[in-house]
Amino acid sequence: MGLTVKLRKDTGKFLLDVVWEMGNEILVLFGHSGSGKSMTLQLMAGLMEPDEGYINSNGRVFYDNAKGINIRPQERRFGYAFQDRVLFPHMTVRENIFYGLLRSKRDGREEKVRHMLEVFHLEEIENKRPSEISGGQKQRVTLARALIGRPEALLLDEPFSALDNTLRIEMRQLVMRIKKEFDIPIVLVTHDILEAYTMADKVALYVGGLVAQTGTPGEIFYTPSSPDVDFYLALNFPFLANQYQK
C-alpha cells in the first residue's frame, strides 16, 4: 500500500534526483523554492517526463523507464492542486467540481457533487464563478474537484501560500480531515516550516534537487542525519538551531 517514487530528471539547468516512499499519510516535501519540490509533483502527475526512475501507487506502475512504462496523466488519477489555483473561469463552482467526474461513470454523479459541496461548505456559492469567490473558497473548490473522482493520491503544491493566516490554519485542518475521510497518500509541497512541522507524518527534506533526509518532523528537525542537513537547517532556520544545540 502507498506510494513509491524514484525520479531523476536533468533539465540542463537543474538536476533532480529523489527517492522516497509513503503510506496513506501526509508526506511534506519541504525545502526552498527551486529545490525541485514542484517538479517532483509534475513528474508524478505525468505533466513532465522523467529521464529515469519509477512511480508505483498501490502496486500499480505509472512510470518505469526500465520497463518502458509511461502512463498518460489522464490515467494516473492523481488529484493535483496546482500552485496557482486553476479553476476553470468559464464554469461555476458546481460545474468545476462536476468536471472532476468522468463521463463514463454515470451513476450517482449528482449526489457525489452534492456531497462534495457539503463537505467543503460550498453550497452557498455553488452557482458563482471563480472570479466572484474568495481565495479560501477557490482553494476549497480546487480540493473538492481534485477529490471527487476518488484519486489514488492527492498532490498539493503550496496550496495555502496565497492565503492569510487564519485561512491557512482552517485549510490545514481541512487537509487533516481529508486525510481521515479519504485515507489516501497526501503529498504536500511547502517551504513554510510551521506547515511542515504541524502537518507532516513524514518529511522529505529537499536540498538542491536531492532528498537530504526523510523522517518524522522530530527526526528531521532535532536529529539531522548528517552535518550537511544540520548545517542547512541551522543556516536557514536559526531559531531551530537554538533548540537542538544544547
Interface contacts to other proteins, rule CB under 8 A: 45-47, 72-80, 82, 84, 86, 88-90, 99-100, 102-103, 145-146, 149
Q: Could you tell me the sign of the dihedral formed by the alpha carbons of 57, 59, 60, 66, in that order? A: positive
Question: By C-beta, is 58 or 243 nearer to other proteins?
Answer: 58
135-147 and 165-182 helices, crossing angle to 10°: 10
- CB of 65: closest distance to other proteins in angstroms? 21
Closer residue to other proteins, CB minimum distance, 42 or 214: 42
Cell numbers 518502458 label which residue?
68
Q: How far is the CB of 54 from other proteins (least distance, A)?
A: 19
Nearer Cβ to other proteins (99/182): 99
DSSP label at residue 38: H
What the block records as the C-alpha cell of 45 is 502527475
In the complex, what is the shortest distance from the CB of residue 171 to other proteins, in angstroms, rounded to a whole number? 19
CA quadruple 40, 45, 49, 52: dihedral positive or negative? positive
The DSSP element (H or E) to which 239 belongs, if any, is: helix 238-244
Q: Based on CB atoms, which residue is closest to other proteins, 125 or 154?
A: 154
Nearest approach in angstroms of CB 45 to other proteins is: 5
- State which H helix or E strand residue 27 sits in: strand 26-31
